[in-house]
């Protein structure tokens, strides 16, 4: 009996013997779905599975992943589960996986508990330094704020902001991990967020759970040769796959607003490059001044001759600034490179992009670029990535009631 046959036999045992002992009913469609996924995993193919509501699709793909990891020729590879909703991520990490791990340990399918972690943006985690500062501010207040103090106390025990109830939007913005962690932060060695990142990228992690936007951000970074967000993985399961195109639009569409530009200039100035920052502001303003005034609408981009010189001067200023930033934070250099690419597209045109201006009510214009072929971009960054050898694509079929 080869490894694939052993995996199918283990799946039969899970659904017909181990799960029923835990009070679960046998569902033939669930078992068929699991076998279909196992075939795809061992044959290195993509499987598009249209699963009706109520057949137990989550346990089907989780069981398939577990037996594949156990019997694969190269066992031990990490897997990624991408979802659209936070609710499903929470259910997988708090309900499905603990039950599955306990049941499979008792049934002898696995010898140690499954290790999973939720991967998401840094703005969803606590910064210990900022939490200490905010707690001190709250404690110095004279008015009754027992609930706010209780929330701050909870955050000293829980790093995940989504797991703490009663947290206001203001407090959340003041205690979350900032967009850029200072390299000289005095709490870096004891930082819970840094410890979380180190553990999440460690070899003990069996399953990484993220949303579609995080998955695509990781794929784009890999394509551009930058440090990935996710640990390298061998299998990808996309649950709620009907929401993936929407996430792709959010990922591949580019925008540059006056606020975005001011943030970049401020960051450049903080790197002791105030002269560069001033020149960037001046040259961008010269470009803004060439735009036709408008309010609260979208306008297709049609370059005029009066805009060529300001865009050329802006490109020159960006090139100089990026050269001065060679030994500075990589995130800032990357952001400037992204802005430079977008401005170059507006200057020279981009056949693969739809370029337009989005005006707000005050008349400020945001530069926008949308991919003409989002499916092709998605295929390029995700489905053709060489490091990812096997994928399972899952789409939940809507349940229609008469």
pLDDT classification of 388: cutoffs 50, 70, 90: very low
Model confidence at 52: pLDDT above 80:
no
If you average pLDDT over every residue of the chain, what do you get? 88
Neighbouring-strand partners of residue 46: 391
Residue range 141-175, pLDDT digits in tens: 767 788 899 999 999 999 999 889 999 999 999 99
Q: What is the pLDDT of residue 35?
A: 95
And the tokens for 377? Answer: 């971009």
Task: Write b or e for each residue in 134-153: b if 16 or more Cβ atoms lie within 10 A of its Cβ, otherwise e.
Answer: bbeeeeeeeeeeeebeebbe
- What's the rounded mean pLDDT across residues 73-78? 66
Pseudo-torsion of CA 130, 132, 134, 139, nearest 10°? 180
And the tokens for 115? Answer: 């290790």
User: Can you give the pTM of this predicted structure?
Assistant: 0.79
- 8 A C-beta contact, residue 333 and residue 323: no
φ, ψ of residue 335 in degrees (nearest 5): -65, -40
Neighbouring-strand partners of residue 371: 353
Q: Which DSSP category does 210 fall into?
A: E
Q: What is the pLDDT of residue 75?
A: 57
Residue range 307-360, pLDDT digits in tens: 999 999 999 999 999 999 877 677 888 889 999 999 999 999 988 899 999 999
And the tokens for 57? Answer: 């699709």
Q: What is the pLDDT of residue 142?
A: 67
Distance CA 105, CA 103 (A): 5
**What is the arrangement of strands in the sheet containing 254-256, beginning at the earlier edge strand?**
254-256, 365-371, 353-359, 297-300
Report how far apart, in Å, the C-alpha atoms of 372 and of each of 56, 274, 378 are. 37, 38, 12
Distance CA 326, CA 349 (A): 28
Residue range 97-130, pLDDT digits in tens: 999 999 999 999 999 999 999 999 899 999 999 9
Which residues lie closer than 8 Å to 348 by C-beta, 6 or more apart?
none
Q: What is the pLDDT of residue 387?
A: 45
* Three-point CA angle 111, 117, 118, nearest 5°: 150
φ, ψ of residue 367 in degrees (nearest 5): -80, 130
**Cα four-point dihedral sign 63, 65, 71, 77:** negative
Residue range 221-279, pLDDT digits in tens: 888 888 889 998 889 999 998 899 899 988 888 999 999 999 999 999 988 899 999 99
Q: Are strands 254-256 and 365-371 parallel, antiparallel or unpaired?
A: antiparallel
φ, ψ of residue 53 in degrees (nearest 5): -65, 135
Which residues lie closer than 8 Å to 190 by C-beta, 6 or more apart?
128
Q: Which CATH class is domain 3-115+206-252+377-397?
A: alpha beta
**Domain residue extents for the chain:** 3-115+206-252+377-397, 122-194, 258-363
Long-range CB contact pairs, 102-106, < 8 A, 24+: 103/14, 103/18, 103/19, 103/21, 103/22, 104/14, 104/18, 104/66, 106/18
């Amino acid at each position: 009996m080869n490894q694939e046959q052993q995996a199918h036999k283990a799946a039969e045992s899970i659904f017909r013997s181990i799960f029923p002992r835990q009070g679960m009913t046998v569902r033939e469609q669930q078992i068929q779905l699991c076998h279909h996924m196992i075939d795809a995993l061992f044959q290195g193919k993509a499987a598009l599975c249209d699963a009706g509501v109520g057949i137990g699709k989550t346990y089907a793909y989780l069981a398939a992943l577990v037996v594949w990891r156990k019997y694969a020729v190269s066992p031990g590879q990490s897997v990624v589960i991408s979802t659209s909703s936070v609710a499903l991520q929470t259910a997988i990490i708090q309900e499905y996986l603990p039950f599955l791990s306990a049941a499979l340990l008792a049934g002898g399918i696995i010898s140690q508990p499954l290790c999973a972690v939720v991967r998401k943006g840094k703005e969803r985690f606590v910064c210990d330094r900022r939490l200490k500062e905010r707690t001190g501010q709250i404690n110095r207040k004279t008015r009754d704020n027992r609930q706010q103090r209780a929330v701050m106390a909870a955050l000293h025990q829980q790093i995940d902001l989504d797991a703490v109830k009663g947290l206001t939007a203001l407090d959340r913005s003041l205690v979350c991990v900032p967009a850029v962690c200072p390299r000289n932060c005095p709490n870096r060695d004891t930082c819970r967020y840094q410890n979380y990142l180190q553990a999440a990228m460690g070899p003990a992690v069996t399953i990484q759970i993220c949303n579609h936007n995080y998955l695509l951000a990781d794929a784009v970074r890999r394509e551009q040769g930058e440090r990935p967000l996710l640990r390298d993985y061998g299998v990808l399961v996309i649950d709620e796959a009907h929401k993936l195109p929407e996430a792709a639009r959010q990922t591949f569409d580019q925008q540059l607003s006056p606020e975005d530009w001011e943030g970049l200039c401020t960051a450049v100035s903080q790197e002791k490059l105030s002269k560069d920052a001033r020149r960037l502001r001046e040259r961008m303003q010269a470009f803004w001044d060439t735009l036709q005034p408008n309010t609260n609408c979208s306008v297709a981009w049609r370059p005029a001759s009066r805009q060529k010189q300001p865009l050329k001067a802006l490109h020159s200023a960006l090139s100089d600034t990026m050269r001065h930033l060679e030994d500075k934070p990589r995130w800032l250099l990357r952001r400037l490179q992204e802005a430079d690419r977008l401005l170059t597209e507006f200057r020279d045109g981009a056949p693969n992009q739809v370029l337009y201006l989005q005006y707000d009510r005050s008349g400020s214009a945001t530069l926008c670029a949308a991919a003409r072929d989002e499916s092709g971009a998605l295929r390029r960054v995700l489905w053709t990535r060489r490091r990812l050898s096997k994928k399972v694509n899952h789409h939940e079929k809507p349940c229609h009631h008469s």
